[in-house]
Amino acid sequence: MNSNTRAFKRTSPDQAFPIYLILGSQNFPNQTKNQQMRSFIDCLDQAGQAGISYFQFRDKDHSQLTPSEREQLAREAQVICRHYQIPLIIDDDLDLMERIDADGIHIGQDDLSASFVRQRLDIQHILGLSAHTRDQVHAAIEAGADYVGSGPIFPTQTKVNVRPAIGLEQWRELQSLDPSFPIFAIGGIHENNVDQVKARQADAICVISAISQSTDIARTVAKLKAPLTRE
């Protein structure tokens, strides 16, 4: 287990749930490229102010940005993340992560090898992995990941080539494989179903569209992170 790993583990059911926002310019469709970049910055800034806990820069899929525009946007995101003291995690681009000295990297099953990346990173850098099966969760722990994101829990249209939804019960099985290891919940989580995820004790709640499409980001973040109220 890495020194980071404990920091990602929720310790009390009464705590607010950490919100892990993932965003790229492509998450603001039907806008010009410049508008998308502005919308991205506005959204991250409002979410930072509202109290998200982690941010992942994931500019891919239908992104129209050139590599240098992508790097520029990541650097602007970094300024906001530092202001709100939110770790900046780069999706699937070790070179970009190293160039801008981001706080960590998130990789999928089809991306780089997790143990290769772990060896390249300093110990304080965060390594996150997507893991969808028991074997993948075990392998991620073995490779020295700090957390895994597992899903999609509910159906989602946000990701290109997304896997079928695994559902809450299968997610819960993955989560119970190692009670000391942080498992984050992702995929189709919105204000109207987040309580079901909270009831299963996710260590963090990862969202894109719940926040990128919100018309009141402060209210949405407050609702997503609020502890479950007891009857």
Of 9, 159, 200, 223, the catalytic one is 159
Return d(Cα 137, Cα 148) in angstroms, integer.
7
Active site residue 3: no
Output the smallest distance, CB 123 to ligand 3NM, in A.
Answer: 25
Torsion of CA 96, 209, 130, 115, to 10 degrees: 10
Output the smallest distance, CB 159 to ligand 3NM, in A.
Answer: 4
Smaller CB separation from ligand 3NM, 82 or 203: 203
Helices (H), the chain: 3-7, 33-50, 67-84, 94-100, 114-120, 134-142, 167-175, 194-198, 209-212, 217-225
Active site residue 25: no
The three-class DSSP label of residue 150 is: strand
Neighbour tally for 119: CB within 10 Å: 10
Smaller CB separation from ligand 3NM, 129 or 141: 129
Of 58, 118, 172, 198, the catalytic one is 58
Under 8 Å between Cβ of 127 and 121: yes
91 forms beta bridges with 106
Whole-angstrom CA distances from 72 to 25, 66, 87, 177, 222 are 12, 10, 18, 39, 29
Here the tokens at position 207 are 């969202």
Give contact residues for ligand 3NM (rule: CB under 6 A).
22, 130, 149, 151-152, 156, 158-159, 162, 186-189, 207-210
Output the smallest distance, CB 14 to ligand 3NM, in A.
Answer: 25
Active site residue 63: no
Output the smallest distance, CB 158 to ligand 3NM, in A.
Answer: 3
Smaller CB separation from ligand 3NM, 81 or 174: 174
Q: Which amino acid is at 151?
A: G
Output the smallest distance, CB 167 to ligand 3NM, in A.
Answer: 12
Of 53, 130, 150, 214, the catalytic one is 130
Smaller CB separation from ligand 3NM, 30 or 68: 30
Under 8 Å between Cβ of 154 and 165: yes
Smaller CB separation from ligand 3NM, 50 or 122: 50
Q: Give the residue numbers annotated as catalytic, written as ranges.
A: 58, 130, 159
